[in-house]
Amino acid sequence: MERETTAVDKIEADSIIIEITDKYTRKVYRRDVPIRYLETDNGIVLIGEDIEGRPSHINLLSGTALEKINALIGKGPDQGRCGSEK
């Protein structure tokens, strides 16, 4: 029986589990943290609260997303939309 693989466009969670290994003791620690997680082709977004309870976002952009942003703000390669030089 063959397993069907499906493409995943988006991964979401309302909390994340952080697993770390202490560099001195090599002991492994796991923590369930109430941070919303969103992953797409554009990167990863972590959403939580700061120490004062205000919303806070950390955006980790993919190379593809950075290329798109640079093209939008005029920092991309010097070529037209059809691939011809300017």
Cα–Cα distance for residue pair 29/37, rounded to 1 Å: 20
Q: Report the b/e string of 1-31 with b at 16+ CB within 10 A.
A: eeeeeeeeeeeeeeeeeeeeeeeeeeeeeee
**Residue 1, pLDDT above cutoff 90:** no
Can you give the pLDDT at residue 70?
83
Q: Comparing 17 with 85, which gets the higher pLDDT?
A: 17
Q: How confident is the model at residue 81 (pLDDT cuts 50, 70, 90)?
A: low
pTM exceeds cut of 0.85: no
Q: What angle do CA 63, 68, 73 make, to 5 degrees?
A: 125
Res. 12 pLDDT band, cuts 50 70 90: very high
